[in-house]
Amino acid sequence: MQKKFLLYFFILLTTVIRIYGEISISASVDKNEISLSDQLTLQVTVTGKISNLPNPTIPTIPDFQIYSSGRSQNITIINGQINSSVVFNYILSPRKVGEFIIEPFSINYQGKVYQTQPITIKVVQGKVKQLPVENNVYKGESKGLFVEMLVDKKSAYVNEQITMTFRFYTKVNLMSQPQYTAPTLTGFLVEDLPPQRNYYTTIAGERYYVSEIKTALFAVSAGKLQIGSAVVRCMVEDFNSEDFFSDRFFKQFFSSGKEVVLKTEPININILPLPQTSSESADAVGEYFIKSSVDKTKTEVNQTIMLNIEILGTGNIKAVTLPEKVIKEVLSKSFVVFDPISSFDINKENYIVKGKKIFQIPIAPTVQGQLEIPSIKFIYFDPIEKKYKNIFTKPILINVSPSKETDSSLQESYFTKEARKEGQKISIQDIRYIKLSHKIVNHTSFSIRWFFLQTIPLFVYIIFLGYFNYRKLLSEDIRKFRFSRAFKVFKAQIIKLKKMKNKNYYDKINILYDIFTNYFADKLNLSREIITAETIKKSYDKKLDTKTIEEILSLWEELNFYRFSKTKDKVNEFEQILGLTEKIISKLEYELQKI
């Protein structure tokens, strides 16, 4: 039993740990042997099924100068399961020659310490032997494969499209899928130009299979920029060995293959700055058109309408900006202008980046009447004609009627009270920021039982009301009141009589007589003094059974008799007459209820 319990406890505990504790850390270097003047890249990868992975603790590395070169995070959510990994990059530069150990990197998560394996690095004097790398430009032709990198222009303006084409030529069977590493493109904004093209071509009488990848580049700033080397790694059949099995037939079955690394030459690009003019600065580079519209042309003061400005054309559409300052200046006389919301649609047909960018600007008129959204100027630089061009939207007329609300809440939100006093306009810039603190509450659903609970006070009230009215009615109808109370009073007085210990026989019999006559007085709504046997007989004649009337009259006589008789066994006589009285009155009450 104890073992079972411990097992149950252990399973539950490990489940908890597994749910919230899956985390791992690893470290790797790009080379284990470097020269003193060289540097190496160290990557520490933390992975786990949580989104907020902790940062690793860096060990002391006295033999190297260490620089952080940033981190990259990757989070994937599949079926609600988060998988996240963070790669921390460090550049290590050796201080001296020798063999050194990089101590483990560690992380502490939920009290548990995870760490990497130690890494050994050898630092040597002079240059380290590099692995032979195949170069391109037909050098690999004997092996039947080569790569080339081309650009459509070697001189371009800032933000002008440069189309970079990478081609991989092969005429031999590859033993693995080629691995393409894109060149380093520092200083460029990159836009992939799918699809990858595959076709055959003939070069020097040889038929090659070509894989072609195109990329659009947009330089961010002017100057000399370089497109780095693109690298392709692939496995090809090894044709060099001169043994018995070098026959092509055997090679088909026994060739182990060898890795070939092909690398393109770096390409230098001259990026020209946009021509300087005193007045103009471009919002985009390429060729563009502009149009504008509003969602409604009739509105009220302080009611928001949407001004849509659409810019279409060829160029880096993502980087197109709107002259917001100009727009705000132009419109601020008669409108409150909010920040624009932008969206874009890119088309890469024929490997040319083009498309449209839509700016939606919420504006609210502040005055009534026919208002004009004036023409808005957009300036772009045309790299073909090498000059700035101005394009304009058409003016739009809007009919603004007075606000139906004199002190509208929208207006309230535009101006703070203080600012309104000073006549300053404070524009709402945005939605409010996300909430950084949170409160988790339990889900409560409405139960139908509440309806019954809500009616309970009403029912209690109805019961009280009924009782109250009954009492009221009785008090208003004295006859009925006395009639209905008679038996209750009779019983109460009999009980009281039974409890009387200090009274003598005559007193008790007199009290019983009084109770008896009182009962009939109440029942008949008469004064007690006028209650006689004759009255009782007259009142109940034909209403009650004759026998019952006779019994009542007999009891009446007996009571009168005992009031004045001198008997010895007084206690027994009283008990008898009391019992008889109770019995007859109860019988009478029963019969009266039947009437």
Partner 1 sequence: MNYKKYKKLTLIVSLLLSNAIYCSFLEHTNAEIKSANELYAQGKFVLASEIYKKVANDLLTNGQYCAEVYYNIGNCYYRENKLGYARYYYELAKLISPRDKDINFNLKFILQTLGYETSKNIFLQYYDMFKFEEINYVLFFVNIIFFVFLIIKMFYNEKNFKKISNILSVIFFILVVIYISKYKESLKTYAIVIEPTEIGSSPDENFYTKTSPITEGNKVLVLSEKENFYAIYLPQDNVQGWIKKDKIKIIKL
For 479, counting Cβ atoms within 10 Å of its Cβ (0-12 exposed, 13-18 middle, 19+ buried), the class is: exposed
> Do residues 238 and 257 lie in contact, with contact meaning Cβ atoms separated by under 8 Å?
yes
What gap in Å lies between CA 174 and CA 172, rounded to an integer? 6
Regarding 440 and contact with partner 1 (CB under 8 A), the answer is yes
Looking at residue 244, the DSSP 8-state letter turns out to be G
Ranges within 74-93 binding partner 1 (CB under 8 A): 75, 77, 80, 82
Ranges within 442-461 binding partner 1 (CB under 8 A): 442-444, 446, 450, 453-454, 457-458, 460-461
Listing from the earlier edge strand, what are the strands of the sheet with 145-151? Answer: 145-151, 161-170, 206-219, 188-203
Residue whose C-alpha is closest to residue 343's, from 375, 379, 304, 309: 309
Stretch that binds partner 1, among 134-142, 150-158, 375-383, 405-413 (CB under 8 A): 405-413
Residue given tokens 């044709």 in the structure block:
239
**Using CB under 8 A, which of 14, 18, 20, 190 touches partner 1?**
20
Binding track over 299-338 against partner 1, x by CB under 8 A? -----xxx-------------------------------x
- Nearer to partner 1 (CB atom), residue 13 or residue 530: 13
Smallest separation (angstroms) from partner 1 to the CB of 401: 14
- Nearer to partner 1 (CB atom), residue 443 or residue 547: 443
> Do residues 365 and 456 lie in contact, with contact meaning Cβ atoms separated by under 8 Å?
no
- Nearer to partner 1 (CB atom), residue 30 or residue 412: 412
Contacts of 326 (CB under 8 A, 6+ apart): 376, 377
Regarding 189 and contact with partner 1 (CB under 8 A), the answer is no
First-residue to last-residue Cα distance in the chain: 76
- Nearer to partner 1 (CB atom), residue 248 or residue 443: 443
Residue given tokens 């904004």 in the structure block:
189
**Using CB under 8 A, which of 437, 502, 527, 593 touches partner 1?**
437
Q: What are the E-state strand segments in 39-159?
A: 40-48, 64-78, 81-94, 98-102, 106-109, 112-115, 119-124, 134-135, 145-151, 155-157
Phi-psi region of 144 (alpha: psi -120 to 50; beta: other; left: phi over 0): left
What gap in Å lies between CA 420 and CA 149, rounded to an integer? 63
- Nearer to partner 1 (CB atom), residue 170 or residue 334: 334
Stretch that binds partner 1, among 46-54, 392-400, 521-529, 532-540 (CB under 8 A): 46-54
Smallest separation (angstroms) from partner 1 to the CB of 23: 12
Ranges within 194-223 binding partner 1 (CB under 8 A): none
Smallest separation (angstroms) from partner 1 to the CB of 453: 6
- Nearer to partner 1 (CB atom), residue 364 or residue 398: 364
**Paired residues of 197 in beta bridges:** 212
Stretch that binds partner 1, among 194-202, 464-472, 543-551, 552-560 (CB under 8 A): 464-472
Contacts of 284 (CB under 8 A, 6+ apart): 159, 311, 313, 315, 316, 319, 320, 321, 378, 380, 381
Smallest separation (angstroms) from partner 1 to the CB of 452: 11
Smallest separation (angstroms) from partner 1 to the CB of 342: 8
Interface ranges with partner 1 (CB under 8 A)? 1-2, 5, 8-9, 12-13, 16, 19-20, 50-52, 75, 77, 80, 82, 295-296, 304-306, 338, 341-343, 362, 364, 404-405, 408-410, 413, 428, 431-444, 446, 450, 453-454, 457-458, 460-461, 464-465, 468
